[in-house]
Amino acid sequence: MPDATPLADLGFDAHFADQVTGDEAHLRPARIATVHRARMSALTTAGSVRVTLPAHATTGDFAVGDWVLLEPDSHRLHRRLDRHTLLERHTEGARQPQLIAANVDTLFIVTSCNADFNPARLERYLALANEAGCDPVIVLTKADTVADASSYIAQAGVLQRGLVAVTVNAKSPDAGAALARWCGAGQTVALVGSSGVGKSTLLNTLAGDALAVPQETGAIREDDAKGRHTTTARSLHPIAGGGWVIDTPGMRTLHMSEAAFGIDTLFAEITELAPLCRFRDCTHAHEPGCAVQAAVAAGTLDAGRLDRWRKLGDENRDNTPVLTGPRGNRVVVPKKRR
């Protein structure tokens, strides 16, 4: 049977091809499409298959979007290929991060032009994207419900240098055209955001007829724009333009941990001023000769941004584990709060 979908159109590129050894040439590359507690499915050039896991493997080690090598007949998993990017979520009290999606090129951070719009929460998603190595794009839904969405675009645009913000009506086919530059053949996007902002509606619009079963959508509460979860699992879907989209459940909390690079990138205006401070370990709170505080006083740095930088940095420091103990018997413990 001829190949139905070229590997390149599934997102397979030289990064993955170079990892396949001569001894593995007979194996079939496949991309993980769904991950459940006890089973996984994957996409191959010939279509969807159910992955057979070896005894030592668990589904928790894999993310939607991962590339794996399978035995061609049994679809038994041989191994996972190294990732381009990995989105993971750290939850309070958990020993290991929760895998969200792998090999994502662009992260669509979805919010809406109503009470859901929250710059501080958007900054958390941006730090997540930066740390993962994805290109973030703010997607403002429900633009058709407000007289002028320009204020939302302006507020989103200043959250990070070079950040692109796009307004869409998630129910309109025009939404696909507005986001087409990130959804071409072989490209992968993921949708993250709070419940009720229109992620599932947007996925249905982007996928069009390529989505066999449309994602369930739900209404929001009018008083506070809060939504309820309609997506309960992560899954990979084709986009009408030739790319792929990964939908994710709404996240009520997003804790910072092991995200120092992502935070530094998010707050580049502070990161770049820090070396100009008189003291190398300046906290930018009260020390003399602080270049960051000088910028706040001069009006070139927003004091609210500095407060949010400090909050995210402190949270990341307190939640990031450190290795301790004698060599060969190390354990992971959280850092103590100051």
Strand partners, 79: 69
Q: What is the 3-state secondary structure (H, E, C) of the chain?
A: CCCCCCHHHHCCCHHHHCCCCHHHCCCEEEEEEEECCCCEEEEECCEEEEEECCCCCCHHHCCCCCEEEECCCCCEEEEECCCCCEEEEECCCCCCCEEEEECCCEEEEEEECCCCCCHHHHHHHHHHHHHHCCEEEEEEECHHHCCCCHHHHHHHHCCCCCCEEEECCCCCCHHHHHCHHHCCCCCEEEEEECCCCCHHHHHHHHHHHHCCCCCCCCCECCCCCCECCCCCCCEEEECCCCCEEEECCCCCCCECCCCHHHHHHHCHHHHHHHHHCCCCCCCCCCCCCCHHHHHHHHCCCCHHHHHHHHHHHHHHHHHCEEEECCCCCCEEEECCCC
Summarize pLDDT for 193-204 with one digit per residue, the tens.
Answer: 988 888 888 999
327 pLDDT tier (thresholds 50, 70, 90): low
Q: Which residues contact 330 (CB under 8 A, 6 or more apart)?
A: 323, 324
Summarize pLDDT for 148-190 with one digit per residue, the tens.
Answer: 899 999 999 999 999 999 999 988 888 999 999 999 999 999 9
What is the pLDDT, as a whole number, of residue 196?
Answer: 80
Residue 81 backbone dihedrals phi, psi, to 5 degrees: -85, 150
What is the pLDDT, as a whole number, of residue 335?
Answer: 56
The fraction of the chain above a pLDDT of 90, given in percent, is 67
The one-letter amino acid code at 69 reads L
Q: Which residues contact 240 (CB under 8 A, 6 or more apart)?
A: 176, 206, 207, 208, 209, 210
Summarize pLDDT for 209-261 with one digit per residue, the tens.
Answer: 655 444 444 444 444 445 444 444 688 999 988 999 998 876 667 889 999 99
Provide mean pLDDT across the span 314-326: 81
What does the mean pLDDT of the chain come to? 87
What is the pLDDT, as a whole number, of residue 227?
Answer: 45
What is the pLDDT, as a whole number, of residue 222?
Answer: 47
pLDDT surpassing 80 at residue 140: yes
The one-letter amino acid code at 114 reads N
Report the sign of the C-alpha dihedral through residues 157, 159, 163, 165, in that order: negative
What is the pLDDT, as a whole number, of residue 333?
Answer: 60
292 pLDDT tier (thresholds 50, 70, 90): very high
Summarize pLDDT for 6-50 with one digit per residue, the tens.
Answer: 999 999 999 999 999 999 999 999 999 999 988 999 999 999 999
Q: Give the tokens for residue 65.
A: 């979007």
